[in-house]
Structure 1
Amino acid sequence: MSSLVIWLTGLPGSGKSTLADGLRNRFPDFVILRMDEMRKIVTPSPTYSEEERDMVYRALVFTAKTLSDLGHRVIIDATANRRKWRDLARQLIPGFREVYLKCSPASCEEREKARTDTRGAPRNIYQKGRAGSPVPGIQAPYEAPLCPELALETDTLTPEEAVSAIAGLIREKDPL
């Protein structure tokens, strides 16, 4: 039986890792899959090309599906700037739920600058994006979800409020 998989998506700096950690504190049985950690294993010297992103995101979806099929509840902490990767997860994982963390690019950049713990994410990504690197929301497109199960304005909500909203979705969809 497939278990719940929550995909936290949004621009870099929108709060994905912070909320994933907050959810894990509230629901210790969840496994967190962080794209930044997976990328370091799959592509130790990333180029962030479309082909490379496609390969890494497909590996992430496969890992989430496998964990879900084994009965683990999963939180995916990944920008997933292309909708097709989230749609693939929705297609393959019966317990899939998408949570869109909507945050202004200016707020995301300020948060990214202030980070002390990047949780594996590269530093100064917005600065790199303005210099030509393919950063979602700057040099690479970010395709916002069309019908997420939950959309949160993370530049106006506190992390605690956002975690509570997602916890409500979890309890509604998977009351374990």
Structure 2
Amino acid sequence: MLQQEVNEDMSRMIWLTGLSGSGKSTLAEALRPLIENCHILDGDVLRRGINQDLQFSEEDRLEAGRRIGEIGKILLDAKLNVIVASISPFRSTRDKVRSLIGESYMEVYVRCPLKVCEERDPKGLYKQARAGQIKHFTGIDSPYEEPIQPDVIVETDKLSLEECVSKIIQCLSPAY
């Protein structure tokens, strides 16, 4: 694993987007010790708290993304680095957050084929969605809009965790 830490004057927001089971939370946890003064905003954790009033409609997903972006901005203003691990299926959400955050925003597409995500299915959500128990599930009966120009693409079905982390760190600090 990389032994170097990212230590920049400017706080950064690393927005990890991808399907459920693509590896966003795993990547966030692997990045945490390498990024000084860092806090993770995990979509699953936020759904149990600040976003518990939201469902899975398009409107609610847009609102969830807006809230995550606003919380992230508060943390950035406090000089913390922020890693967001959130499906955030709509480009418009990610574009709005990029506009809100500005040059401190870095979009990472955690790309993994749906078939592999379903095989991983750590929470059993794809099985439930296929059985009709979860409606509006991203990748099954609700769309995921792939990023058009992400800052980084990591393919978690092809690269090791270390390789994915290294690719992200290199983008954060080109000198590495």
CA separation in 1, counterparts of 2:43 and 2:18? 13
Q: Any conservation in 2 of the 1:2–1:93 contact (CA below 8 Å)? A: no
1:21 and 2:33 are equivalent in the alignment: no
Alpha-carbon distance in 2 for matches of 1:43, 1:4 = 23
Across the aligned residues of Structure 1 and Structure 2, the Cα RMSD in angstroms comes to 1.9
State the secondary structure of the residue aligned to 2:68. Answer: helix
TM superposition shift of 1:111: 1.6
Partner of 1:118: none
Aligned partners of 2:152, 2:119: CA distance in 1, in Å? 24
In 2 relative to 1, CA 43–74 (structure 1 residues): closer, same or farther, beyond 3 Å?
closer
Q: Give matches, 1:161-176, under 5 Å.
A: 161-172=163-174
Alignment-derived partner of residue 91 in structure 2: 83
Q: Which amino acid aligns with 1:30?
A: C
Q: Does 1:126 align with 2:136?
A: no
Tell me which residue corresponds to 1:148: 150
> Map of 1:94-133 to 2, 5 A cutoff?
94=102, 95-112=104-121, 115=122, 123-132=123-132, 133=135
Once the two structures are TM-superposed, the CA of residue 71 in structure 1 deviates from its matched residue by: 1.2
Indicate whether 1:42 and 2:44 are aligned: no
Q: Match of 1:74, SS? A: strand
Quick one: which of 51, 54, 77 aligns to 2:59? 51
> TM-score of the superposition, structure 2-length normalised?
0.86
Q: Which residue of 1 aligns with 2:77?
A: 69
161-170 or 125-134, which deviates more: 125-134
How far 1:130 moved relative to its partner? 1.5
Aligned residue pairs total 165
SS at match of 1:97: strand
Question: Would the alpha carbon gap of residues 76 and 125 (structure 1) be closer, same or farther in structure 2, given more than 3 Å must change?
Answer: same
**Aligned residue identity for 1:96:** Y
Distance 1:46 1:71 in 2: 29
Q: Give the match for residue 157 of structure 1.
A: 159
Paired position in structure 1 for 2:11: 3
Amino acid at match of 1:63: I
Residue pair 1:9, 1:79 contacting (<8 A) in 2 also: yes
TM-score when normalising by structure 1: 0.86
Runs of 4+ in structure 1 displaced over 6 angstroms? none
> What's the secondary structure of 1:79's corresponding residue?
coil
